[in-house]
Chain A
């Protein structure tokens, strides 16, 4: 499979009043054409920052370094103007909270056709036609929704509108940042299925950001696990669930309740570290049961332990002292 997006050694620091927050600490990942790549981790581990840095939407107090190659071109070297032609056209994003992601004072029609006219160069009438087609594709009553204001729609409907808008220019990559977190469980499933359906229909790649391992198991082809600004493990979904390598991944999987086996959950000890003063070496070492001296000294590299299964942990080699 061909690479669509490659993130190489992405570092993001935020200058804050309390000091410099080292939010991304050398993220490496690749998304192939046509796949659904899941990015999982706890709140604050840097998933959303990764997504926003792809679109270069980080606030002005962020310092970014590294490479983000999209179709072979480094997005971090593009001008604002060039980025504007990529946003919403080549790479689309849908956000976590559909209740606040649409402008409350504009009709759906006006918000959608503005994007369509901008990227597709269509006239107003044709743009409205296109918007109708898109709304039908996401399963909405197009005519009614077009003339509605966001507050007249339910959360699920708004997220469908966001998806329709995301697809308006046939993007190559759809970033879905916790697209179902704010929705009812029944609606969640519908939205996920819709994204999968459309993916097969329009043939784009998906970067799905979530903290919900159930969602990952259901829809993702491959998964990256993030901890405190690092990717600690990448593998195909089945492989990851059956054969988790990194101690953090194992910890995550052991806290998924299984109603068939009534055994107590084993929560990870400790808590998420501060990103202003992160632990040295492997950021997971204070919470790790397998901690060795080397873990405190140097950050473990992401290595391919078995074909297609990457892990960043000294348990699996890369230990310079040995």
Chain B
């Protein structure tokens, strides 16, 4: 199989997975006893208004017809109207998703940047004080609850040191003084490519604490995975060969050993992406981050099923694609993987 065929094959599979998720969530959301039409109309509805809303939301049709209608709209990028905000769900999701994804990317970046070197040095200096310290750090990263850790960070950096903002994505005042042209939806990227430095700095300040909170768990996971893989790889004969030929230690660890150790760690990184997507729900509430998690939480509380469906589809799609990327990178890294 050629590389392109492999990617195409995986994409087709991904579509089936997503259709499966949509089907499941669609029917589950209809089982929940609630009256979307009444919710849609709002407080003090007349029976006529509810009946009208029911017609508008296609709630009188048979379930299977509703399902077909939903899939058909989905194909056209239409995810329905949110019962809570009365906006098109697709529009709500777009801004929420980019906010969350920006947060996740920064968190994962931090996690990889810290987790990999920490794992490597832990393995190289196995059972030293550095290793013990990093293991302690890794275990606390995995076991500290995000809601607690986030609040502690807020206490330290906002209340006591007054270095970083408490919550939000960007300061409204800064945004008013320096209007941001939205291109990708990622504030850090948009402000940077439009040369809007004040917004960039402010957005960066806002993202640090939630990103660190979110990164704690993946840092622990990645460190532990890289450490155990590195310990194994460093015993291999080809590493002994590298020593026997006078290759400097740093090159042995970070080039010859790490490339062999990173492949299994990649799966962990992929999975930790999925975790941060879930973890973001909590972190976004603490830091008042206008992302997918907050949107999902409010949607669930107000029985806003089109929005819940939309969030689920986005999360599932992101998950499937992250795994696809991980698999592709693995093929790229390891020439022995035959497609």
Chain A residues engaging chain B, CB cutoff 8 angstroms: 55, 57, 83-89, 92-93, 95, 97, 100-106, 114-115, 118-119, 149, 151, 162, 165
Contact = CB atoms under 8 A, between A and B. Distances in A.
Interface stretch (B5-13, B203-211, B239-247): B239-247
B248 interface: yes
Contacts, number: 68
Contacts of B251: 114
B177 interface: no
A39 B238 CA distance: 24
Nearest to A115: B245
Nearest to B235: A59
Contacts of A106: 256, 259
Contact of B335 (A97, A101, A105): A105
B333 interface: yes
A93 B242 CA distance: 11
12 contacts: A83-B246, A84-B246, A84-B247, A85-B246, A86-B246, A101-B238, A101-B240, A103-B256, A104-B238, A104-B335, A115-B245, A118-B246
Given A100-B237, A105-B334, A55 B244 contact: yes
B263 to A, nearest CB: 8
A95 to B, nearest CB: 6
Contact of B244 (A93, A100, A102, A103): A93
B48 interface: no
Given A55-B244, A118-B246, A103 B336 contact: no
B243 A104 contact: no
Nearest 6 Cβ contacts at the A-B interface: A88-B245, A87-B246, A100-B237, A84-B246, A103-B238, A88-B246
Contact of B247 (A86, A118, A162): A118
Nearest to B258: A105
Given A87-B243, A118-B248, 12 more contacts: A57-B244, A84-B247, A89-B246, A92-B244, A92-B245, A93-B244, A100-B236, A100-B238, A102-B241, A105-B260, A114-B247, A151-B335
Contacts of B333: 105
A92 B241 CA distance: 10
B241 A101 contact: yes
Contact of B237 (A84, A89, A97, A119): A97
A105 B238 CA distance: 10
Nearest to B245: A88
Contact of A105 (B244, B248, B259): B259
A92 B242 CA distance: 11
B242 A103 contact: yes
Given A105-B333, A106-B256, A151-B336, A87 B245 contact: yes
A57 B243 contact: yes
Contacts of A86: 246
Contacts of B336: 104, 149, 151
A92 B244 CA distance: 7
Interface in B200-245: 236-238, 240-245
